[in-house]
Structure 1
Amino acid sequence: MKRLWIACGILALVFAATLYNTHYLSGFTNELTTLLTRAEIGAEDGDWETAGELTRQAVENWDRHAVYLHVLLRHTEVDDVNTSFQEVREFINCQEGGEYSAANARLIAQIELLYEAEQLTLKNVL
């Protein structure tokens, strides 16, 4: 009987950690997408300096969480986001409006998909 309670405790702990990770990732991805959306608005207004600064803040935030992300997420997804950040930064430096908008939209979608993939849903369990 003691083993049963230990196993239930371990399962409860893993479940709680999963819920915490999902909650944490939700806040983190929302923060990044907000910064990138604001950068897009700046770029549309021709304010490339603001777009660059907001994107830089998003990159720094992403880099601060790099270890956490590499431990808990698939490396290919994290690497894809890193590559997309570099692409977006280059389009900002060149002030290429159309290409920047497309690359930024793709980056935002990739970040949102990171959270969606970690949600506890039937689609993700099966």
Structure 2
Amino acid sequence: MRRLWIACGILAALFAATLYNASYLDRLTASLADQLTQAEAQAEAGDWDQAARLTDAAFQDWDAHTLYLHVLLRHADTDDINSGFQEVGEFIACQESGEYSAANARLITQIRLLYEAEQLSLKNIL
């Protein structure tokens, strides 16, 4: 009977860790997406310097969580997002509005998909 309770405790701890990870990713990805959306609005208004600052701030937030994200997520996903930040940064530097908008939208989508991939749902279980 003791083994059963130990196994249940381990399963409960793993389940709690899974829920925490999903919640953490939800907050992180929402914050990054909001910053990048604000940067897009600034770029559309012609304020490329503010767009660059907001994008850099989003990248710094992303980079601050790199260890956590590399441990718990697929490396290909995190590498794609790193590349996306670099691509967006180059389009901001060149002030290429059309290419920037497309690259920024792609980056926001990739970031939001991180949370969706970790979300506890039937789609992800099956």
Q: Normalised by the size of structure 1, how large is the TM-score?
A: 1.00
The whole-number CA distance in structure 1 between the counterparts of 2:34 and 2:112 is 11
Report the 3-state secondary structure (helix = DSSP H, G, I; strand = E; otherwise coil) of the residue aligned with 2:120: coil
The residue number in structure 1 matching 2:83 is 83
> Quick one: which amino acid aligns to residue 40 of structure 2?
E
Equivalent-residue separation in structure 2 for 1:17 and 1:10 (angstroms) = 11
Instruction: Please list, as runs of the form range in 1=range in 2, the aligned pairs for 1:38-57 lying within 5 A after superposition.
Output: 38-57=38-57
Question: Who is 2:119 aligned against?
Answer: 119
1:120 shift after superposition: 0.2
Q: What is the CA-CA distance between 1:9 and the residue it aligns to?
A: 0.2
- The number of residues matched between the two structures is 126
Q: Which secondary structure does the structure 2 equivalent of 1:46 belong to?
A: coil
Q: Which amino acid aligns with 1:3?
A: R
* Per-residue deviation, 1:42: 0.3
- Deviant stretches of 4+, over 2 Å: none
Q: CA deviation at 1:17?
A: 0.3
2:35 corresponds to which residue?
A: 35
The percentage of aligned residue pairs carrying the same residue is 67
Residues 44-75 of structure 1, C-alpha deviation per residue, up to 9 Å, x if partnerless? Answer: 00100010000000000000000000000000
Q: In structure 2, what residue type is equivalent to 1:29?
A: T
Unaligned runs of 5+ in 2: none
* Secondary structure of 1:120 counterpart: coil
Task: Write the distance in 2 (CA, Å) between the matches of 1:24 and 1:79.
Answer: 19
Q: CA RMSD in A?
A: 0.3
Read off the aligned partner of 2:103 and give its amino acid letter: A
Correspondences of 1:64-79 after superposition (within 5 Å): 64-79=64-79
Task: Measure, in 1, the Cα distance between the counterparts of 2:4 and 2:25.
Answer: 31
Task: For 2:107 and 2:98, locate their aligned partners in 1 and report how far apart those are by CA, in whole Å.
Answer: 14
